[in-house]
Amino acid sequence: MNDGRGKVRGLRRSELARLTGCNLETIRYYENIGIMPPPPRTARNYRVYDESHVARLRFVMRARDLGFTLEETRDLLDLVDGRAGTCPDVQALAQRHIEAVRAKIADLRRIERVLSETVSRCTGDEVPDCAVIDALQQAD
């Protein structure tokens, strides 16, 4: 972003996407829902992003990578922006998220166990009966 003369030049959306690894449409969506602030525009009406947009987008992407929902990410950004929330609020939000992640892990382990047991009953023979298909057709 430095132009070599000490001035920071603005980025276009495509440059922001390339720099952060975020999809162009995702950036547009984040702007539409207010996760990303609208960037200033040039006289020719081009959007111009700066380092604060890069940092914010990276924050959002990291939160999403950690599995936070968009609403939870918005709550985290409210604290970053000084609009609402305290560190204990963030801690409570993160603790709820940890509990949800643990529940998903338990579900995935159960799914793995059921699939493994079912696959182990497969004979691999070319017969019309298949343990996997039979298990999928069973009602709980």
Give the range of the structural domain holding residue 28, as residue numbers without chain letter.
1-66
Overall domain count for the chain: 2
Q: pLDDT, tens digit, for every residue of 36-95?
A: 999 999 888 989 999 999 999 999 999 999 999 999 999 899 888 887 778 888 899 999
Whether the predicted pLDDT of 10 surpasses 50: yes
User: Residue 76 falls within a domain, yes or no?
Assistant: no
The domain that contains 28 carries what CATH number?
Answer: 1.10.1660.10
Q: E strands of the chain, at which residues?
A: none
Question: Do 92 and 120 sit in the same domain of this protein?
Answer: yes
**Closest to 49 in 3D by CA, of 11, 97, 6, 103:** 11
Q: How far is 82 from 84, CA to CA, in rounded Å? A: 6
Q: 61 Cβ partners below 8 Å, 6+ apart?
A: 20, 21, 22
pTM for the predicted model, two decimal places: 0.76
Question: Do 52 and 13 sit in the same domain of this protein?
Answer: yes
Question: Do 59 and 90 sit in the same domain of this protein?
Answer: no
Q: What is the DSSP letter of 42?
A: -
User: Residue 77 falls within a domain, yes or no?
Assistant: no
